[in-house]
Amino acid sequence: MAKDVLEDMSFAELKAQADKLGIDTGALNKREFLIKAIRGKKFINSGPIHIKYNDVEVDVDPKVFDDFRLIEIMRQMQSNGTYVVDFLKFILGEQQYEDAMCALADEDGKLPMERIKDFMEAVVKQLNAPLKNS
């Protein structure tokens, strides 16, 4: 695993890095808060992330994670799992969502729940990777 340069920075260096990225550091009074904010900002500005799962390939623009509507969808997902459809449509966009569902369908045109679950796990895992490695 690559060395995490943020972990080696002093509080002052982290604050300067955050300021350079345009992060409001007023309430960020701990190193770990600054590190998370810097990682998040770099992730959001990193450009599209290409995700591959079996025969499905999609590109997710990390800027969708800087949209309050996603928080609303995630909150709804906690109490009602059917909001996973809204979540996927939101992060993939309507066309990529439809293309992914077609690619995930079995030979009878059905979408097995296990495939959707596995696809969703792959998407989340691949989107989390840049946050862990930044």
Partners of residue 58 on adjacent β-strands? 51
Asked if pLDDT for residue 1 goes beyond 50, the answer is no
Asked if pLDDT for residue 134 goes beyond 70, the answer is no
> Cβ contacts of residue 105 below 8 Å, gap of 6+?
111
- Give the closest residue to 120 by CA, choosing from 95, 89, 94: 89
- pTM comes to 0.75
Residue 133 is predicted with a pLDDT of 57
pLDDT tens string 40-62: 888 888 889 999 999 899 999 99
Asked if pLDDT for residue 73 goes beyond 90, the answer is yes
What's the N-to-C CA distance of the chain in angstroms?
A: 11
Average pLDDT value over all residues in the chain: 89
Rounded mean pLDDT, 5-16: 88
pLDDT tens string 76-111: 999 998 888 999 999 999 999 999 999 999 999 999
pLDDT tens string 103-132: 999 999 999 999 999 999 999 898 887 766
